[in-house]
Amino acid sequence: MIRYVLPMYPFIHILAATSAGHLDRTWKRVLFGILLLWYAVGTLSQYPHFISYANELAGARAGRYRLFSDSNIDWGQAVPDVVRFVKEARLVSLQFSYFGRDDVAGYRLVSSQPFGSYKFDDICAFKTIGDSSREPEAVLISVSNWYYCGYYQSPRFYEKNIQTVIGDSVLVF
């Protein structure tokens, strides 16, 4: 899709520059100030998830997984947010299909299996975090795995069953 839009950029810039030349000095300053403020607020509001940043015109942060996947939104950067979620929700056991290569044990999440494999089956597999003898209280799936591993096609993991989105890139079921 983007390859169709990119060739238009030079023409958009020429049009914008020509149009700006017709504005008086006061309007230029006001317009520049508004655009600069929009840029600053939009960027800073994304903190600390700059990897998954998309312009506000793309929609709400929690719904951007509908538009983007893989490296456009998910590099496995949400593990600290997952830790915070697990702690706040007081989860004892959960299943996690994680796209990243980090070992979550470094974040004090005890897993039944190590993370970090490059094999398709290992990447897509659910690993139990916490007490493996208990029934999982939640299922977490990285956005990339949701698409890449085909979980979005499973009735259990349909979009309507998503309870929340952690760190812009982990879906909670």
The model's pTM is 0.77
Residues 35 and 78 in one domain: no
Statement: residue 81 has pLDDT above 90 = yes
Residues 81 and 41 in one domain: no
Q: For 69-80, what is each residue's pLDDT tens digit? A: 887 888 888 899
- Print the domain residue range for 40: 2-45
Number of domains in the chain: 2
Q: For 153-165, what is each residue's pLDDT tens digit? A: 999 999 999 999 9
Residues 34 and 74 in one domain: no
Q: Does residue 126 fall inside a structural domain?
A: yes
Pairing of strands 170-172, 164-166: antiparallel
Residues 151 and 80 in one domain: yes
Residues 79 and 38 in one domain: no
Q: What is the DSSP string of 131-161?
A: -TTSPPSEEEEEHHHHHHT-GGGSGGG-GGG
Q: Does residue 51 fall inside a structural domain?
A: no
- Altogether, the residues listed in the chain come to a count of 173
Q: Does residue 61 fall inside a structural domain?
A: no
